[in-house]
Amino acid sequence: MNLLEITHRRKNPLSGDWVLVSPHRNNRPWLGATEAVSEHQLPAHDPSCPLCPRNVRANGEANPDYATTHVFTNDFGALTPATSEHSADYAAPSSLFTAEQANGECRVICFSPQHNLTLPELSHSALVAVVNTWQQHYVELAAQYRCVQVFENKGAIMGCSQPHPHGQVWAHPHLSSEIDQEDQQQLAYFQAHGRALLADYVVQEQQAKQRIVFENAHWLVVVPFWAAWPFETLVLSKDDVQHFGQLQQGQMEALAEALSVITTKYDNVFNCSFPYSMGWHNAPSNHNGDTDSKQHWRLHGHFYPPLLRSATVKKHMVGYEMLAESQRDLSAETAAKILIAASHTHYKAG
């Protein structure tokens, strides 16, 4: 079958959602406009930035003079720990008015003390420190909460409020909708095939050799067959690992390399600091002494960048996407070709 010549739909086996692909509208590899957008120079330390070392945050606390990463409780967290003082009545008068309690913790993870760096500009050891920090906070929070969501919003276009390199981690006892969906999809696949969905997917992408952007001993970065965003990628653990807590140092070092390569390639596609939302999907934790097997899960990260044709032309998920389902013209295979062709050397360093 040549999917690149006909309009078709592809199914996302992790979510169960479909994406409409119309490659005839746009099936030639191109690099689009690569004009450099004027990125104003940021200082290495900004006295008005609440994430920089030594500065005072909104809650009046000063950040330490940190040297690698720094984590603090979000002063405006969307979730706060449960307190008995707030007892609300969740009894629904009808199933159409269903509500439940939500509590948890939100932390901000500064990736570097340096205000003007982004992940692809960090040294290998600084990136390893970021991955180590993710693991440390994952382990601590997974001991208390079922769902631990590590993520990064990068760029004002993605709603990121601070240029200082940082991500977040939110943890809560309920399963988020995405994790719940992926859990059910992966479990159903495991029950049907006796193997993990993403373990099979790694092998099948290695055989197909059409969408692999980067691979090392422990990680595979692909534009997934079912990608919805133009340059969406999936970072897959090649090892039988369900969550961050299981990663050995060698796997974390290899992950730092994979992150460096993919984020560098992203920046090089349009010679700009590529915006995205990225985050990690861990198996729900068994924090209450549950012994449920998580064999069906495979730790993976999603990168969802919004750019389509240049540093300023983004893909809008509107109209048909909002009302029906995702649609794309640029095929996943063509997006992969563009990312494969993009240099491993950051444009600013070249």
State the maximum Cα–Cα separation within the chain, in Å, rounded to a whole number.
Answer: 63
Q: Is 57 in the site for ligand H2U (CB under 6 A)?
A: yes
Distance (Å, whole) CA 348 – CA 350 = 6
* Site for ligand H2U contains 61 (CB under 6 A): no
310 DSSP β-pair partners: none
Do residues 107 and 51 lie in contact, with contact meaning Cβ atoms separated by under 8 Å?
A: no
The entry of Zn ion, ligand H2U, none near residue 336 (CB within 5 to 8 angstroms by kind) is none
Interface with ligand H2U (CB under 6 A), residue from 13, 23, 50, 53: 50
| Active-site residue, from 137, 166, 281, 296 | 166
For residue 109, the minimal CB distance to Zn ion (Å) is 13
**Whole-angstrom distance, CA of residue 232 vs CA of residue 305:** 6
124 is annotated as an active-site residue: no
What angle do the packed helices 249-269 and 332-341 form, to 10 degrees?
100
| Member of 35, 39, 75, 325 binding ligand H2U (CB under 6 A) | 75
8: tokens are 């078709």
144-203: which residues touch ligand H2U (CB under 6 A)? 153, 160-162, 168
Rounded Cα gap, residues 37 and 123, in angstroms = 24
Binding mask 131-170 for Zn ion (x = CB under 5 A): ---------------------------------x------
Site for ligand H2U in 93-152 (CB under 6 A): 108
Q: What are the residues whose beta carbons fall under 8 Å from the beta carbon of 168, sequence distance 6 or more? A: 74, 106, 107, 108, 109, 150, 151, 152, 153
Q: Which residues bind ligand H2U (CB under 6 A)?
A: 50, 57-58, 74-76, 108, 153, 160-162, 168
State the catalytic residues. 166
Q: Which residues bind Zn ion (CB under 5 A)?
A: 46, 49, 51-52, 115, 164
